[in-house]
Amino acid sequence: MRITLIDAGKRFNRDWIFRRLSYEFTQGHSYAITGPNGSGKSTLLQAIGGALTISEGAIKYTGSFREIPADQVFKQVAIAAPYLELIEEMTVMEFLHFHQAFKPLLSSCTIKDIISRVGLGKAADKQIRYYSSGMKQRVKLAQAIFSDTPMILLDEPCTNLDGEGIALYRQLIGEYCGGRLVIVSSNDVQEYDFCEHSLSIMDYK
């Protein structure tokens, strides 16, 4: 999987969020998108994942030596982000089964294994609406990291996590994300210090 940005730009009304951005993201590597709060990191991440249309330039997706149409990119990507909602009337077991119907999970893990791995085994039968904010973030990380996709996008992945949760996040990255394309959007170094490459959105204003 390779993503190529060619003079890409995005604006809302008259304000450019980023502009003249040319960059290549390649599977098997990890990248950090950095910048202060409100600088547009999330907007760039959503554009990379095909959720937002850019205003100028182009984004090309290539997999297995062929170009992937933009409207098919969603099959290649899993994302965890604060602004993405969970179905809180479901239990985590029900939620992951529902998610799996649209996007397969890693074959090496059962859903029960995944729930245990993210430390939610004792709460597996509770509706997600009764979870703490940290537990909900663990669910978001589980559905992203354990999806069988070549690309994982993580927007402020340690939001609401305590020290134990942050350590778990780093373990999951190390154990399950090797060989995949990982892009982390954050201004907190502990969320992305494992990344091999860094891109500051402030360079493209």
> What does the H/E/C string look like for the chain?
CEEEEEEEEEEECCEEEEEEEEEEEECCCEEEEECCCCCCHHHHHHHHCCCCCCCEEEEEEEECCEEECHHHHHHHEEEECCCCCCCCCCEHHHHHHHHHCCCCECCCCCHHHHHHHCCCHHHCCCEHHHCCHHHHHHHHHHHHHCECCCEEEEECCCCCCCHHHHHHHHHHHHHHCCCCEEEEECCCHHHHCCCCEEEEHHHHC
On the 0-12 / 13-18 / 19+ scale of CB atoms within 10 A, 42 is: buried
Domain of residue 72: give its range: 2-204
Query: Are 156 and 87 in contact, with CB atoms under 8 Å apart?
Result: no
Average pLDDT, integer, range 148-158: 97
Give the pLDDT confidence score for residue 42 in this predicted structure.
96
Give the pLDDT confidence score for residue 179 in this predicted structure.
95
Average pLDDT, integer, range 119-148: 97
Number of domains comprising the chain: 1
Give the pLDDT confidence score for residue 65 in this predicted structure.
79
Q: The domain spanning residue 200 has which CATH number?
A: 3.40.50.300
Give the pLDDT confidence score for residue 71 in this predicted structure.
86
Give the pLDDT confidence score for residue 41 in this predicted structure.
97
Quick: pLDDT tens for 160-170.
999 999 999 99
Quick: pLDDT tens for 179-204.
999 999 999 999 999 999 999 999 99
Quick: pLDDT tens for 35-84.
999 999 999 999 999 999 999 999 999 988 799 998 899 999 999 999 99
Q: What is the pTM of this model?
A: 0.95
Quick: pLDDT tens for 1-48.
999 999 999 999 999 999 999 999 999 999 999 999 999 999 999 999
Average pLDDT, integer, range 127-136: 98
Give the pLDDT confidence score for residue 82 in this predicted structure.
92
Give the pLDDT confidence score for residue 57 in this predicted structure.
98
Give the pLDDT confidence score for residue 93 in this predicted structure.
97
Cα separation of 28 and 40, whole Å?
25
Amino acid at 173: I
